[in-house]
Amino acid sequence: MTKELKFEEMMKKLEGIVDDLESNEMPLEDSLKRYEEGVKLLRLCRKRLDETKRKVELLVKKGGNLTTEPFKE
C-alpha cells in the first residue's frame, strides 16, 4: 500500500476481502494472501481509530474550545 488510504477506503477493501473469503471460491493459497491483507488493513483501521479517539479526547478536555494539541504516543 504505497499511498495512504482514507479510513472509508480501507473499510471497503476489508468488506471486499471478507466477501471473497466467504465465497469459498478461491484456492487456499489465494485465500491466505487475502486474509493476510485483511489483517494488515484491520490493524491500520484500528490504529487510525485510536488516533482519532485520542484527538477527540484532547478536544473535549479543552473545555469546549476548538483547539487541538498533538498527543503523545
pLDDT digits (tens, 9 = 90+) for 15-44: 999 999 999 899 999 999 999 999 999 999
pTM: 0.70
- CA separation, residue 34 to residues 1, 8, 57, 72 (Å): 14, 19, 34, 33
Q: Are 54 and 70 in contact (CB under 8 A)?
A: no
Domain 7-61 has CATH 3.40.1350: no
Mean pLDDT of 42-53: 92
